Amino acid sequence: MRIGMGYDVHKLVEDRKLILGGVTIPHTMGLLGHSDADVIVHAIMDALLGAAALGDIGRHFPDTDPAYKGISSIELLKRVKKLIDDKLYVIENIDATIMAQKPKLAPFIPEMVKNVADALQISEDQVNIKATTEEGLGFTGEEKGISANAICLLTTVENFVYQDIMNENREGGCSGCSGCSKGK
């Protein structure tokens, strides 16, 4: 098993959309960045890349590359999934937190979870996203920016398949098989 941690922060500015978890959220300001500046998705991508020892999002999607100007972070997350798959890792779970004084994000979290799960081709119950304020403290509390952090757990394909075989054998065999000696 491998654990990864990610963090991101972007400044709040006028004349930008506020996009978090792939959801456009009504607000008077949005996040400044080369892409859509989706801090929660960026933190999740860095957690996944870190767990797989693949560097960070700046290495794979540099803000100096015009190809990523205004790109959807959900699209970048799909590309990270491909990198994870190429290394034969399986995502076990993701836990992420958004730090923002305003707006209130609770009504948007279920859609954020769905967007992240869909992009990563995992179940929604493998993704947890939550939001908190900072009680008016610091740059997020003063509404100058929004930050996010995330942690994830990856396992290898071999461990994932072995766990499945063990579980299926305990329940009477694999897909109609009369059983074998594995896991008994």
Q: What digits encode the pLDDT tens for the residues 130-158?
A: 999 999 889 988 899 999 999 999 998 77
Assess if residue 96 is contained within a domain.
Answer: yes
Assess if residue 176 is contained within a domain.
Answer: no
Assess if residue 75 is contained within a domain.
Answer: yes
CATH number of the domain within which 16 lies: 3.30.1330.50
Least confident stretch, 95-99, 134-138, 174-178: 174-178
Q: pTM of the entire structure?
A: 0.85
In angstroms, the CA 72 to CA 35 distance is: 7
Assess if residue 98 is contained within a domain.
Answer: yes
Assess if residue 171 is contained within a domain.
Answer: no
Q: Kindly list the distances between the CA atom of residue 147 and the CA atoms of 11, 49, 55, 128, 141, in Å, as whole numbers in the listed order.
A: 9, 18, 20, 16, 10
Assess if residue 149 is contained within a domain.
Answer: yes
How many domains in the chain? 1
- The answer to whether residue 176 scores a pLDDT higher than 70 is no
Average of per-residue pLDDT values in the chain: 89
Assess if residue 31 is contained within a domain.
Answer: yes
**Could you tell me the residue range of the domain that residue 116 belongs to?**
2-156
Q: Is 110 annotated as a binding residue?
A: no
Q: Is 60 annotated as a binding residue?
A: no
Q: Is 108 annotated as a binding residue?
A: no
Q: Is 95 annotated as a binding residue?
A: no
In angstroms, the CA 100 to CA 1 distance is: 31
Is the bond preceding residue 62 a cis peptide, omega within 30 degrees? Answer: no
Assess if residue 71 is contained within a domain.
Answer: yes
